[in-house]
Amino acid sequence: MSTESTESTNAPNFIRNQIRGEIESGQADTIVTRFPPEPNGFLHVGHAKSICLNFGLAEQFGGRCHLRFDDTNPAKEEQAYIDAIKDDIHWLGFEWSGKVRFASDYFDQLYAWARHLVEQGKAYVDDLSPEEIREYRGTLTEPGRPSPYRDRSNDENLDLLERMKNGEYAEGEKVLRARIDMASGNINLRDPILYRIRHASHHQTGDKWKIYPSYDFTHGQSDAIEGITHSICTLEFEDHRPLYDWFLDNLPVPCKPRQIEFARLNLNYTLTSKRKLKLLVDEGIVDGWDDPRMPTISGMRRRGYTPAAIRKFCEMIGVTRADGLVDIAMLYHAIRSDLEDNAPRAMCVLKPLKVVLTNVEEGHEEVYEVPGHPAREDMPVRKVPLTRELWIDADDFMEAPPKKFFRLAPGKEVRLRNSYVIRCDEVIKEDNGEIRELRCSIDFDTLGKNPEGRKVKGVIHWVSADRGVPVEVRLYDNLFQVEAPSKEADADFLAHLNPDSLITVQGIAEPSLADAAPESRYQFERVGYFCADRHASRDGHLVFNRTVGLKDGWARIQKNEQGQKKG
């Protein structure tokens, strides 16, 4: 399947254009990309962009894309994260080439290459503490200083490295470092760490290893082992590229992948720091990694986003080298566009107000067959019953309405969606003045036609009080109140949480929703798009999560911009 859509093929994608040029000129034949997540958390919307890019390029150009877990830090990694990441990729509609790969598959080879660097005098065992290593490394304006252990002999370094591997030293007691250039203007080249001692069991290798390679030492060589042709990374790895090239130039690797960097996705009102997202989970601020307020792929899935919409969004924003803040309204637009075409309709009242139809007999019921979707004949019709007592939304009634309020008011008429015109004749209140119910009457001559001699502008949704289905509705909004929560310091970003990011109401839905399957999506007419919660919607307890409202701010922005260009 192609990642391109007819709407967004003009979105910039310099990597796609570059690879197309390489293939057309004969510089490249088969391309091999990879998606290399660290299994230390769930994937978020920024990872979705990388997934769509790497897998999409492989699909478009007839190549392959590997899934490889860069699992070099067992202290922070879990099998649960591995399983969730695989599930996310499949849910988005992609399939990796061959087996699932792990950097740990290459630990033996990486260790052999580390020994090779020691034998060549290009790596050494250092006894400095982590704090001393940072001090000796220097700053952006001052060069580093060589470690006093930098000139150990190759034989001594080989012996110490083997003893590190055998678990003879405590964590932090020694490290293996590359011997490159402590005066380099690129701090990454100032004798970077290749191996650390970690007495931790690994989810793939068990207790075999007492030392683990650094991410920087692992990443490029793993690409080389797998025959990756295009190693696509975000811009923060640009300064690491000279180090990766140094490793590839100084080791007998089978090939030299080409690294290309692109700008990561920065979405306003959205946090994409995995460490801060984990803090939200650990502190119980959200209900797990798949909380619908989280920007994780599993959270977006639970909220009701569709794979097609996420892929469309990633295509819309394009791939460039320019950092910028993407308006979340673009994401909402992509979701609405997909759900507008594909979500069946239903009626659900979120703020129930009872209506009694006084000229309808007790026990009366008439059932309307209503299209499941106004433009989709392939969707089954739904049966909507009308009874003497109904629920309408409290917001659709006002005792003293303003001039342009076209909904229900005392003495005023409104049409029940797909049914009759009704008139409010009486307002019944509690002793404290709260409205208990409305007494209304039906004009039985208005089913499917306008009333004689008068115009009724308002149409409201409703649900039978006798046949309606109780539902819990969770109204989700942005988790943060500031545009760029990732820029806030650790001590400050929690202060910008949106206290109204989740509001739960008890609503009444039409009976067609009684059998809603988990993750089924609907447009609640006049309200928004909702999804049956994948966890809670069971045992007769229906929970719907609001995916997005009906108003499309991004479409309005685009329309205004087009109008300005024409003007």
With beta carbons less than 8 A apart as the criterion, state whether 379 and 373 touch. Answer: yes
Place of tokens 């009701």: 304
Backbone φ, ψ for residue 142 (5° rounding)? -125, 135
CA–CA gap between residue 111 and residue 126 (Å, rounded): 17
Write b or e for each residue in 408-418: b if 16 or more Cβ atoms lie within 10 A of its Cβ, otherwise e. Answer: bbeebbbbbbb
CA–CA gap between residue 121 and residue 267 (Å, rounded): 46
427 burial via Cβ count (<10 Å: 0-12, 13-18, 19+): middle
CA–CA gap between residue 391 and residue 465 (Å, rounded): 6
Catalytically active residues are 38, 264, 274
One DSSP character per residue, 78-91 reads -HHHHHHHHHHHHH
Q: Which residue pairs from 205-214 have beta carbons closer than 8 angstroms and sit at least 24 positions apart in sequence?
A: 205/104, 205/107, 208/107, 209/107, 209/165, 210/164, 210/165, 210/166, 210/167, 211/164, 211/165, 211/176, 212/72, 212/73, 212/74, 213/72, 213/103, 213/107, 213/110, 213/111, 213/114, 214/72
The size of the chain, in residues, is 567
Q: Nearest-5° angle of CA 254, CA 257, CA 263? A: 160
331 burial via Cβ count (<10 Å: 0-12, 13-18, 19+): buried
